[in-house]
């Protein structure tokens, strides 16, 4: 073994022995990435591995989280993160520090940010929340490699199916140029299963927005709704009911979970009874009713009493004209 490699290994051992003083010095410079030494002690076997060239050194840094921005294709609904959804991670980092570094890459042309977060959105949120440094590992990857890295990381975390579905739909066109076969192969997923995610991402917005947290939508939900929405009339019923649920939510009414919303929407698709016709009572100059207009699907039926028809025919005719003119 050459003297250069030996000096490198011995230097690593010395760095580890002086870990605490080195980190304290570096963290006093907030705008400079702080090298973070590998955790754990160097064993005799570990030193021998390093001397033999069998140990891969990974350098991590601790930086100001304000210097990091999210990759444009990240799959977290970042605005929905809060202290409740991140509670366990907050407690873990508060107690033990950030154990796993986020994967980032360097960016240029952005005066405010130096790094782009590929995997580690929740850790970034918690670093801002706790006002702590953010541990990162800098990687050199293109967009396709970044997506694969992000997807692999998120399979080990609690990223919702809906968040993944939205990301998959975007990157299919933007990164994989619509090639579903190549995309499925890159993330080790069958094309059939990938299609299930695309179906989830393609749910009508009226349906997605009828629950307060869209992360609750799942692959089975999309499959059930897609099966129920075969045909224009069934689709209309489901979307119409979704709009009613959405209006109730916006009006401060009780919110539903995605499971409850699916039950409501499927029930709407199974209704077979005729819808009650909308009735408009049209009054005359005296303030008394002249006739009733019943609006059905594509029809209007006027109900006029014989007395009104005989004695107020002209007034009724003018009222009918105004009624037609004001139809929405």
Give per-residue pLDDT as tens, 205-257: 999 999 999 999 999 999 999 999 988 888 999 999 999 898 888 877 778 89
The C-alpha atoms of residue 135 and residue 102 are separated, in whole angstroms, by 6
> Does 27 share its domain with 153?
yes
Q: Helix, strand or coil for residue 302?
A: strand
Can you give the pTM of this predicted structure?
A: 0.62
Query: Per-residue confidence at 47, pLDDT binned at 50, 70, 90?
Result: very low
> Does 11 share its domain with 153?
yes
Calculate mean pLDDT across residues 35-45: 45
Q: Is the pLDDT of residue 294 over 70?
A: yes
> Does 146 share its domain with 13?
yes
HEC readout, 244-298: HHHHHHHCCCCCCCHHHHHHHHHHHHCCCCCCCCEEEEEECCCCCEEEEEEECCC
Q: What is the count of structural domains for the chain?
A: 4
> Does 197 share its domain with 208?
no
> Does 103 share its domain with 71?
yes
> Does 154 share its domain with 218?
no
Ranges 11-20, 104-113, 314-323, most confident: 104-113
Query: Per-residue confidence at 297, pLDDT binned at 50, 70, 90?
Result: low
pLDDT at 28: 35
Query: Per-residue confidence at 38, pLDDT binned at 50, 70, 90?
Result: very low
- Domain residues for the domain of 288 are 278-325
Q: What percent of the chain has pLDDT over 70?
A: 78
Lowest mean pLDDT, pick from 100-104, 152-156, 246-250? 152-156
Q: Is the pLDDT of residue 168 over 90?
A: yes
> Does 145 share its domain with 229?
no
> Does 191 share its domain with 133?
no
> Does 165 share its domain with 264?
no
> Does 131 share its domain with 230?
no
Domain boundary residue among 158, 183, 217? 158
């Amino acid at each position: 073994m050459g003297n250069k490699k030996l000096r490198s290994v011995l230097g690593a051992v010395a760095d580890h022995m002086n870990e605490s003083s080195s980190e304290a010095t570096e963290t006093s410079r907030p705008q400079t990435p702080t090298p973070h030494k590998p955790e754990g002690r160097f064993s005799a076997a570990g030193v021998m591995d390093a001397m033999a060239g069998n140990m891969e050194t990974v350098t991590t840094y601790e930086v100001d989280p304000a210097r990091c921005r999210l990759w444009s294709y990240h799959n977290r609904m970042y605005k929905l993160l809060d202290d409740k959804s991140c509670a366990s991670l907050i407690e873990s980092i508060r107690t033990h520090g950030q154990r796993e570094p986020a994967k980032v890459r360097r960016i240029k042309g952005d005066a405010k940010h130096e790094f782009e977060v590929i995997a580690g959105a929740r850790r970034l949120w918690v670093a801002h929340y706790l006002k702590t440094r953010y541990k990162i590992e800098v990687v050199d990857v293109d967009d396709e490699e970044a997506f694969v890295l992000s997807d692999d990381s998120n399979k080990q975390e609690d990223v919702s199916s809906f968040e993944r579905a939205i990301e998959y739909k975007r990157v299919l066109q933007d990164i994989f140029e619509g090639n579903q076969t190549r995309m499925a192969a890159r993330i080790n997923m069958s094309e059939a299963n990938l299609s299930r995610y695309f179906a989830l991402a393609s749910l009508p917005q009226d349906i997605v927005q009828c629950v307060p947290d869209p992360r609750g939508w799942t692959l089975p939900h999309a499959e059930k709704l897609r099966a129920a929405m075969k045909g224009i009339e069934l689709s209309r019923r489901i979307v119409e009911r979704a709009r009613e649920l959405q209006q109730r939510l916006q009006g401060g009414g009780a919110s539903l979970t995605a499971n409850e919303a699916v039950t409501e929407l499927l029930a709407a698709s199974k209704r077979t009874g005729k819808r009650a016709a909308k009735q408009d009572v049209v009054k005359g100059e005296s303030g008394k009713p002249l006739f009733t207009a019943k609006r059905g699907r594509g029809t209007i039926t006027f109900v006029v009493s014989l007395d009104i028809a005989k004695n107020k025919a002209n007034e009724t005719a003018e009222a009918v004209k105004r009624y037609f003119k004001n139809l929405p």
